[in-house]
Structure 1
Amino acid sequence: MSVRHISTGSPFEEQIGYSRAVVADGWVFVAGTTGYDYATMIMPDSIETQCENALATIAGALEEAGSGLDHVVRVNYIVPDPSEWHKCWPITSTAFAKAKPAATMISAGLQNLEMKIEIEVTARVAP
């Protein structure tokens, strides 16, 4: 089995010991991704901007893996405050308009209190 690891350079990847994405046998597994702007390590205040940032980071990792948001088959959203989740719907429905992946929203605490959403996806490598 061929395995390739993709990193975004986030300090969390090194500190915790994980890859942003792993490509294996035609699949791309993207780790739970929060809304940091990894270039500045700034976390925006709004869940909407955090959602946009997380999806941009995910899209970049998928592109590096030879995939993209249109090839996502599964997405998990983790949101500490479920009352804010609906604010992300316009963003996620646009991002996944073509893929329409199987999806789950889980309400749970995240690593840092400033984190309002974490997104994890599974995708196929583009044909």
Structure 2
Amino acid sequence: MSDIKRHGTPTGGGLPISKAVEADGWLYVSGQVPRNEKGELLAGSMKAEAELAFDNMVKVLEGAGYTMDNVVRVGVWIDDPRDFAEFNKVFAARFSSAHAPARVTIQSSMMCDCKVEVDCIAWKAS
């Protein structure tokens, strides 16, 4: 077994979570919400919030040396099921049919004031 590598560990007393944890070629990306670079939540349409949440997920993946093509599973939490179709359009634009991941989508109240949160699991050969 290889060492466990943590990416984006908290600094300055943040939550005790890593943005991603890597082990044996697997990368587990923590939930990403629509926060901008200043840490502010975007309040907008499902499309805008989903785009930013995915942009944040891509930054974490790329920071660890992975791409969207390495993603094998995506977890999605949306607060309003009426937004599912709009979210699905964003999702379809992010993943090609050739690299479509497994996915679970759950309706859930959000822990912060947003419409969507996404996480993923990615894999690549060592």
Poorly superposed stretches of 4+, deviation over 3 Å: 8-11
Note the C-alpha offset of 1:101.
0.4
2:65 aligns with: 66
Q: Aligned equivalents of 2:99 and 2:125: distance in 1? A: 12
Note the C-alpha offset of 1:72.
0.5
Tell me whether 1:6 sits opposite 2:34 in the alignment. no
Query: Which stretch shifts more, 31-40 or 81-90?
Result: 31-40
SS class of match (2:114): coil
Cα distance 1:29–1:21, how it changes in 2: closer, same or farther (>3 A)?
Answer: same
Cα distance 1:10–1:101, how it changes in 2: closer, same or farther (>3 A)?
Answer: farther
Gaps of 5+ in 1: none
Contact 1:77/1:120 (8 A) holds in 2: yes
Contact 2:46/2:86 (8 A) holds in 1: yes
1:33 aligns with: 32
Please give the per-residue CA displacement for 1:82-110, whole angstroms capped at 9, x wherever unaligned: 11121111211111114200001100111
Please give the per-residue CA displacement for 1:5-38, whole angstroms capped at 9, x wherever unaligned: 1128798xx5321111111110110011111113
Identity of aligned residues (%): 26
Q: Aligned equivalents of 2:14 and 2:54: distance in 1? A: 22
Contact 1:27/1:124 (8 A) holds in 2: yes
Normalised TM-score (structure 1): 0.86
Normalised TM-score (structure 2): 0.87
CA RMSD of aligned residues (A): 2.1
Higher Cα radius of gyration: 2
